[in-house]
Structure 1
């Protein structure tokens, strides 16, 4: 006798928004930009400056794409509204992208001064603001008790 049991999900979570997957790319690119700036500062090898410039470019492209997809998803899909960040997190994400644009202009220069000291400082500030934005976004998700079963 073959018996199958169906166990209902305890918390109905909608499919993961595409924005959440795209938003990881700028975070990785901007973090690696900080690391490559530190490597350039310590070694003065021009290769690290080139890596930083390309990482900034990739982070800005994916960041812009994530913003467009996030706005479209927020308007088109009602289920993702539960997961949208607070206004403080949205402002922090925009500040991250603006800092990255400024950092990209600084990195467009040639030689040592393209990274040290202003490019390195902007990379560090971008990283810190990115952490703040992630923390603000995470606090919204935990405050709304996403994924918590109150009836267990």
Structure 2
């Protein structure tokens, strides 16, 4: 007796994609922690640290976004998960860019909106990394 089943194809991120995606989380988290430190101490250097961390997070997120776009074209069209992943990264990048513009203001003018935006992009980066780093499957049970 021969039993055949539909094979399960896993679409996992490449190592470079995973590094870029995973790198966005600590960079945006570092920016959030710097914003919190600035909010509590009013030391302007914390705002500068946050600005640089946001810029680096945008680079990592933008490159991961390119990988996600390629993955969307290669993925099975029945599954909507690659599209959700791409959309999460895109929203994270756009709000991160708005946050970078907010931090480009004078340090006193960047608060509290810069802190709020840092919270949002950190949460979005965590959700995007969770979505992107889990094994994406097509066919079979999920």
TM-score range, shorter chain: 0.7 to 0.9
CA drift at 1:133: 2.3
Once residues 20 and 109 of structure 1 are traced to their aligned partners in structure 2, the CA distance between those partners, rounded to angstroms, is 32
Q: What is the number of equivalent residue pairs in this alignment?
A: 127
Q: Any gaps of 5 or more consecutive residues in structure 1?
A: 1-12, 146-152
Deviations 1:97-137 (A, max 9, x none): 111000000000013221x1100000011112223323434
Q: CA RMSD in A?
A: 3.0
The gaps in structure 2 that reach 5 residues or longer are 1-9
Counterpart pick for 2:107 among 111, 118, 135: 111
Point out which structure has higher relative CO (alpha carbons under 8 A, 6+ apart): 2
Q: Of 71, 82, 89, which aligns to 1:86?
A: 82
Partner of 1:23, secondary structure, is helix
Which of the two has greater strand per residue? 2
TM-score by structure 1 length?
0.69
Deviates more, 1:86-95 or 1:35-44: 86-95
Q: What residue is the counterpart of 2:7 in the other structure?
A: none
